[in-house]
Structure 1
């Protein structure tokens, strides 16, 4: 796992409610997410294919995630959603986050995972200590 992926993963896990922005038509849509994992050097998120967020990402795959910590630092992660919902990846997600088992199984056709392609993350702070990394 690259140091950039590790740093983003740690920040998101330490701040487990993060917000994902998508586009529906010409309007922004934002909702909270809470699952993230690393698999084969990529950051993965999950959703249900009956939700609007799934439909929005399939139509316009570019998204942005934002969250902040208690010290006034935040990140903006942007990239392209690439869906990859193999049984292997579903099993890993269920192992990492057992609470997902109340909603999904590895054989569940509703359970979708996507990773970030062409990712870019900006770490920011109120002190102006900002930096941008490619994922």
Structure 2
């Protein structure tokens, strides 16, 4: 878990793919934290991403570092929104407080279940990372 989390945190922006009617949709994310031993993210329940995750929780995340190594993570999104996890998210990234607050009815938190991660180098070497 720690190697995956550090990779995402160090590289700041990563991309999450969902599907809508079997059509992929990718968007950049920048918030990541560990919660209850899982990779955890946030969104707004007003966004299309939220609706897509509810309809089909299968996602893939991709992130590239400065050396062109890339990390792919697959898993199933499961919402775990509660005031405790919302507070932790705001502590991890205080700037989220500019758009969300605990219990605002919009701020949603989700973790990845059944997550797998593969780190691949530019030369094609692959290594499975523990999540």
CA contact (8 A) 1:65 1:78 kept: yes
In the alignment, is residue 78 of structure 1 matched against residue 74 of structure 2?
Answer: yes
Structure 1, residues 8-49: CA drift from partner, whole Å, max 9, x if none?
Answer: 100000111100000001210000000000012111000000
Mark the runs of 5 or more structure 1 residues left unpaired by the alignment. none
Alignment of structure 1 residues 1-135 onto 2, 5 Å: 5-133=1-129, 135=131
CA deviation after TM superposition for structure 1 residue 134, in Å: 5.1
Please say if residues 4 and 129 of structure 2, whose CA atoms lie closer than 8 Å, have aligned partners that are also in contact: no
Distance across 2 between alignment mates of 1:77 and 1:26: 19
Relative CO higher for 1 or 2, CA cutoff 8 Å, sep ≥ 6?
Answer: 2
Task: Give the alignment's Cα RMSD to 1 decimal.
Answer: 0.9
Q: What number of residue pairs does the alignment pair up?
A: 131
State the TM-score, normalized to the length of structure 2.
0.97
Shift of 1:127: 2.0
Q: TM-score, normalised by structure 1?
A: 0.94
Q: Deviations over 1:67-120 (max 9, x none)?
A: 100111010001000000010000000011000000011111100000010000
* Gapped regions of structure 2 (runs ≥ 5): none
Q: 1: distance between equivalents of 2:103 and 2:42? A: 15
